[in-house]
Each structure stands twice: as structure tokens, then as C-alpha cells.
Amino acid sequence: MCGRYGRFSRKQRIEEILGVSISGGDDLAVRYNVCPGTPDWIIKVPPEASSPRFEQYEWGLLPAWAKAPTATRRPINARADTVAEKPMFRDLLRQRRCAAPIDGYYEWRTTTSGKVPFFFYLKTREPFFLAGLWDCWHEGRPDEVASYVLMTTEPNELAATVHDRMPGMLHARDVARWLDPTVKDGDAVADLLAPYPAEEMESHPVSKRVSDPNNEGPELIELDDSVRELWR
């Protein structure tokens, strides 16, 4: 799954990696502990537009058909292997795809010392992108809620050492195809949700302080080797 991530690359760096200008997002703030239920920045290409833009949405999908914000569960993840079949997601896969720019994500490994968080990132230390879907409840009304959900897939060899799922990570070269609003067949982008190559990634254990959503700062991604069980 994917239940926490960090994004500390600035807008200019994200544009450099994608090779395209992105409108909006000029006040993109550094975040080391993005949690479900909070707003964050995603990239989307509106149906009426041809270029990407940053928009701030809540993490935790509130579908447009919900009777009220509290009337349905708000999933933070959608499984790549079943997303095309689920009523909550299948139409979004065809026409409301988005990407979350991040620098790394956290996952927890169960040990005899409790759950230990790990930080996963690219060896190049470059930002990358998580495949997502978005929706808008009461669109155009004062009580509008725009939200997103992140895709998950089978883990690669590195991710599998910690958890049995990993987020759907997109190479920068594939973001445009994932976001393309003219592609309305989910099968046409399904290949992009395969496990990201393990040889391009690294991970290390970090402080349990990241488990508290109120904690922020670069110290959250620093190596924490205090759990001896991990080094036996």
C-alpha cells in the first residue's frame, strides 16, 4: 500500500524532470510527512486543456456520487489489478487520472520491536510520480471537495522486503501518457502500473517519529539504525 510520503522537490525541479511547464502550484510547500486526509498537490490535465497543471486535492477519495462526505468510506489506495472492475474507480481510470510528485514514500515493516518505518526513494535522488485517480464531489458548489486516491501494485524485490504492496510509480517519461485525457481506455495505460524496477531504488529504516502526522522536517528521512534486528 501507500499511506505516507514526502515531497521536498520544488516546482522548478519537477518541471525539469518532466521537461514541461506546469501551471499553478507556485506555493508548492516542502512536505516530509504527507498523510491521508490532508490536502496535497497533484498534477492533472483537465479535459478542456492540453497542458498539465498543479491542483491541491485531499488524499482520500470522496466520489462524486456520495450522498455526503461521511456517507461512504474514503479509500487512499486503489489496487491496479482490480481498479478497472470496481464501480468506485473504473470511470475515473478512463477519464480522471492524476499523478502525485514525490521524493519518496514510507512503508512499515513488522519486527519484534514493533513496526519500523522505511523510506523508499530513487538512487538518483530525483523526484518521481505516483499514479492516481481524482474526483470532485459537488463540483462547482461552495462545499466542493476535490480528492484523489493512489494506485498500488505488486511489490518489486526491494519493496517486498517490507510490505506485500507498493505504490504505482511512474517514470517521468510515462507521466504524459498516464495523464493524457484523450486516452479513455484503461487497458491502454495498464502497463504503466507494473512494479517499478527495484534496481533503480533504495530504502533505509527511519525514525518512528514519522508515524506521528504532526511531525515534519528532513530528519524524518534520515537513517535510523537503532533496531538491531534489522542488521542481523
Instruction: Write phi, then psi, for 146 (nearest 5 degrees).
Output: -100, 130
C-alpha cell at 227: 533496531
Question: Which region, left, alpha or beta, applies to residue 160 given φ > 0 means left and ψ of -120 to 50 means alpha?
Answer: alpha
pTM metric for this prediction: 0.94
**DSSP string computed for 90-129:** HHHHHH-EEEEEESEEEEEEEETTEEEEEEEEETT---EE
Tens of pLDDT, residues 196-228: 999 999 999 999 999 999 999 999 999 998 776
Is residue 139 among the annotated active site residues? Answer: no
Catalytic residue among 35, 58, 98, 107: 107
Tens of pLDDT, residues 34-76: 999 999 999 999 877 778 999 999 999 999 999 988 877 899 9
Tens of pLDDT, residues 143-190: 899 999 999 999 999 999 999 999 999 999 999 999 999 999 999 999
Tens of pLDDT, residues 87-100: 999 999 999 999 99
Question: Domain ranges in the chain?
Answer: 5-222
> Helices (DSSP H) in 96-200: which residue ranges?
175-179
CATH assignment of 5-222, among 3.90.78.10, 3.90.1680.10, 1.10.3720.10, 3.40.640.10: 3.90.1680.10
Share of the chain above pLDDT 90, in %: 83
Is residue 2 among the annotated active site residues? Answer: yes
Catalytic residue among 2, 35, 55, 98: 2
